[in-house]
């Protein structure tokens, strides 16, 4: 099986910085962009799999979109503070 490498175009680090409001805003925005990109990839993948697998992928993508909506709402509320 060919190895798929997961590449990100945006730079991010997994070390723990002091959490400030600014860092949380950046994190939320990063996660939204990141998750949206991967949701699109999942949707594109459905044409390559069985109908049953595609249905499950669509359900997973819908769950991601629901989570993204909550992250976006939190981001907007933080920006208003």
pTM of structure? 0.69
Question: In tens digits, what is the pLDDT along the chain, a chain of 81 residues?
Answer: 444 445 555 555 555 668 899 999 999 999 999 999 999 999 999 999 999 999 999 999 999 999 999 999 999 999 998
For the stretch 17-25, contacts whose Cβ atoms lie closer than 8 Å and that sit 24 or more positions apart, written own/partner, are: 21/78, 21/81, 24/78, 25/75, 25/78, 25/79
């Amino acid at each position: 099986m060919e190895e798929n490498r997961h590449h990100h175009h945006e730079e991010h680090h997994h070390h723990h910085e002091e959490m400030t409001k600014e860092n949380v805003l950046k994190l939320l925005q990063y996660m939204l962009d990141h998750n949206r990109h991967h949701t699109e990839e999942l949707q594109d993948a459905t044409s390559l799999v069985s109908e049953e697998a595609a249905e499950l992928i669509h359900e997973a993508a819908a769950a991601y979109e629901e989570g993204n909506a909550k992250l976006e709402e939190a981001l907007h509320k933080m920006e208003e503070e």
